[in-house]
Amino acid sequence: MRAGLPLLIALLLLMPLEGAQPSGAFNVAHRGASAYAPEHTLEAYRLALDQGADYVEQDLGITRDGVLVCLHDLSLERTTDVESVFPDRVTVERDGTRERRRWYVDDFTLAEVRQLDAGRWFDPSFAGARIPTFQEAIDLVKGKAGLFPELKGPARLRAKGLSLEDAVVAALERNGLTSATVRGRPAVLLQSFEAQSLQTLARRLPGIPRTFLVQAPDADGWLTPDRLREMRAFATGVGPARALVDARPGLVAEAHAAGLTVVPWTFRARRGVTDEAATAAAEMRRFTETYGVDGLFTDNPDLFPRSRP
Ligand code: G3P
Ligand code: CA
């Protein structure tokens, strides 16, 4: 009995505590738990919740009839069977001798988008999964975790006379999400690679935090202490590609000094690949504990290191 006591204590220390608060840093399920289920499907979002995600990310596009849908790419061909369902609806783009065939989501109505299979490309066991609307994502996630929508391609939509910002503002207002909290954190965080989009959102939804996404090579100009202070005029956080944090070890402290949170992306391991899982978990721990990032995006919410309260 006495010999079992240390083992029991060790096991208790390893067990997640019921209702335990997360470590200082939060995890964002990147496109849902997208290592294990097709990105941006309700299946991936449900799994993210099951795996304890603090936030579930949605990349947002808009259909021709003005409905917000969750899709990473501006077009449908990578993650759906649009090419066989609507072969004639292609947009052919030429760049010199190169030709690219695109099926832009904003050229399709919601009813058409609903006909597409968004799961089979990932694995046949997910055949029949659909592209969700933002409203469906809200209905699933609200109250259980936070939402972290990214406005994708707002400039392209603006040129077509569509406003992603208007649609997002309306959706958040309609759902009572402009100042809500969940588990002690804001219920919604917004993100964009486009400064103009965040400037609009800062005016329209001043109570919702906004993360400005940056990646090389464009990022370099934004990551000096002066530019970070400038960024604070329209953003509350910076979301750098993770390599940019390793390249600039002072970045987190400089961003914090400018009043910005830091939420890098993306930490991932392919499902079933054990050494990748160990590396991803260790990397997430390094970024949260050594760099002190405020949160991070991961395809694998189950690997996010949780510390005890
Ligand atoms: O939004 C953070 C991260 O998701 C940015 O990259 O291309 O996956 O949207 P992407
Ligand atoms: Ca994103």
Going from the Cα of 14 to the center of ligand 2, the distance in angstroms, rounded, reads 32
Average pLDDT per consecutive 10 residues, the chain (309 residues; last block may be shorter): 41 37 81 98 98 98 97 98 98 94 98 98 98 99 98 94 96 98 97 97 98 84 95 98 94 98 98 97 98 98 81
Give the distance from CA 275 to its chain's centroid. 24
Q: What is the pTM of this model?
A: 0.91
Q: How far apart are CA 160 and CA 158, in angstroms?
A: 5
pLDDT attached to residue 220: 65
Q: How far apart are CA 88 and CA 108, in angstroms?
A: 12
pLDDT attached to residue 39: 99
Domains parsed from the chain with CATH numbers: 5-74+141-303 (3.20.20.190)
Nearest CA to ligand 1 atom 10: 72
Give the distance from CA 87 to its chain's centroid. 30
- pLDDT by residue (tens digit) across 269-281? 999 999 999 999 9
Mutate which of 72, 263, 268 for ligand 1 pocket (most atoms within 8 A of beta carbon):
72
Catalytic residue ranges: 30, 72
Q: How far apart are CA 161 and CA 259, in angstroms?
A: 34
**Amino acid at the residue 294:** D
Closest CA to 36 of 24, 48, 23, 19: 48
Going from the Cα of 148 to the center of ligand 2, the distance in angstroms, rounded, reads 9
